[in-house]
């Protein structure tokens, strides 16, 4: 599943749906008790729409009723400000911690940060500045950054220097607000041609930027495809990882549907005292209400370490 299509499908029409203020847990036909998870797994809008309905506020309430205490929304920055505020109030009321949103325009086909082009850098920094206001509004601590496409006309070392300089300037914007951009390496299969692909590369860049506002988003789905060796690579990058995302492979659906041993990975992450968020950036393997319920049951299973 391509990231752009995944984001589009999971958030269609969410910004124009009327607000709701009450939980609709009564609509949940399952008699299962709410889970108490060891880690902060964060669903996204659309993941439980068959059980919770289309309304974003109702979906947040459903997540809380099911035991989830975190939430992420790639498209939050593009939502109506009134909806952003209403979602933030609901999350605060229900004890849900806001995860990442995408901080800037991502260049999937052409170089931007890797090129060193000043106009591209200024655009990126402007996006980071505007994302500070969004983060304050929705009580977010993290925002996703993808440095964009490679520049085939430049040596990789020069591209890296260009990216590091842009991220240093972005960090200077974020540091006074105690906000963190998390750099996400993406796999070659779903996103061919991108500059940032592997966790060691992200680690090197974060060390070069040398800021608490520039850390790694370790997407387990992407890194299973790109490099494998997941637990050792997580351990190697540990001091620069601030956020995780989840998806099984193949299929990019909930844990237990593919080859990744998520129970062992979550056990390892938990054993290190990780108190951050793990975003559920994947689809549902089964359609309809049964599929929504299967996602919840899958997380109960892999969290039972």
Whether residue 11 is predicted with pLDDT greater than 90 in this model: the reply is: no
Place of tokens 């996103």: 191
Residue 272: inside a domain: yes
Tokens of 96: 């849900």
* pLDDT recorded at residue 217: 99
- Provide the whole-model pTM: 0.89
* pLDDT recorded at residue 129: 98
Residue 257: inside a domain: yes
Phi, psi angle pair for 6, to nearest 5°: -60, -45
Whether residue 14 is predicted with pLDDT greater than 50 in this model: the reply is: no
Q: How many CA atoms lie within 13 A of 150 on its CB side?
A: 16
pLDDT tens profile 180-235: 999 999 999 999 999 999 999 999 999 999 999 999 999 999 999 999 999 999 99
Q: What is the SS3 assignment for 10-74?
A: HHCCHHHCCCCCCCCHHHCCCCCCCCCCCCEEECCCCCCHHHHCCCHHHHHHHHHHCCCCEECCC
- For residues 216 and 192, is the Cβ–Cβ distance under 8 A? no
Q: Are strands 214-219 and 142-145 parallel, antiparallel or unpaired?
A: unpaired
Residue 159: inside a domain: yes
Residue 21: inside a domain: no
Q: Give every CB contact of residue 261 below 8 A, 6+ residues apart in sequence.
A: none
Residue 139: inside a domain: yes
Residue 20: inside a domain: no
Residue 26: inside a domain: no
Q: Are strands 40-42 and 180-183 parallel, antiparallel or unpaired?
A: unpaired
* pLDDT recorded at residue 123: 98
* pLDDT recorded at residue 33: 64
What is the average pLDDT across 73-84? 98
Query: Domains in the chain: how many in total?
Result: 1
Look at residues 235, 238, 232 and name the one whose alpha carbon lies nearest to residue 206: 238
Residue 248: inside a domain: yes
* pLDDT recorded at residue 264: 98
What is the CATH number for 253?
A: 3.20.20.150
> 34: pLDDT confidence band, cut at 50, 70 and 90?
confident
Instruction: Quote the domain boundaries for residue 159.
Output: 3-8+38-302
Q: Among 30-39, 176-185, 203-212, 293-302, whose mean pLDDT is lowest? A: 30-39
Look at residues 37, 62, 36 and name the one whose alpha carbon lies nearest to residue 51: 62
Q: What percent of the chain clears pLDDT 70, i.e. is strictly above it? A: 89
Length of the chain: 305
Whether residue 117 is predicted with pLDDT greater than 90 in this model: the reply is: yes
What is the average pLDDT across 97-101? 98
- Answer with the residue of higher pLDDT: 28 or 4: 4
């Amino acid at each position: 599943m391509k990231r752009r299509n995944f984001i589009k499908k999971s958030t269609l029409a969410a910004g124009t749906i009327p607000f709701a203020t009450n939980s609709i847990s009564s609509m949940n036909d399952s008699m299962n008790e709410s889970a108490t998870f060891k880690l902060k797994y964060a669903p996204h809008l659309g993941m439980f729409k068959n059980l919770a309905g289309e309304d974003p506020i109702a979906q947040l309430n459903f997540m809380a009723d099911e035991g989830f205490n975190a939430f992420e929304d790639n498209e939050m920055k593009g939502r109506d400000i009134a909806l952003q505020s209403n979602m933030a109030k609901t999350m605060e009321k229900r004890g849900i911690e806001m995860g990442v949103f995408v901080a800037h325009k991502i260049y999937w086909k052409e170089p931007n940060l890797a090129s060193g082009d000043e106009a591209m850098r200024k655009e990126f920094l402007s996006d980071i500045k505007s994302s500070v206001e969004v983060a304050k509004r929705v009580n977010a601590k993290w925002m996703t950054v993808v440095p964009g496409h490679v520049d085939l006309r430049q040596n990789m070392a020069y591209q890296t220097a260009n990216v590091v300089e842009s991220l240093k300037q972005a960090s200077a914007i974020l540091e006074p607000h105690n906000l963190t951009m998390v750099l996400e390496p993406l796999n070659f299969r779903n996103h061919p041609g991108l500059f940032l692909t592997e966790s060691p590369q992200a680690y090197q860049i974060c060390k070069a930027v040398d800021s608490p506002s520039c850390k790694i988003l370790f997407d387990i789905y992407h890194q299973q495809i790109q490099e494998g060796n997941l637990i050792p690579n997580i351990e190697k990058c540990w001091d620069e990882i601030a956020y995780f995302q989840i998806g099984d492979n193949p299929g990019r659906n909930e844990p237990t549907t593919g080859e990744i041993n998520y129970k062992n990975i979550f056990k390892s992450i938990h054993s290190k005292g990780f108190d951050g968020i793990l975003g559920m950036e994947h689809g549902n393997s089964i359609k309809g209400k049964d599929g929504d319920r299967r996602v919840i049951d899958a997380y109960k299973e892999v969290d039972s370490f």
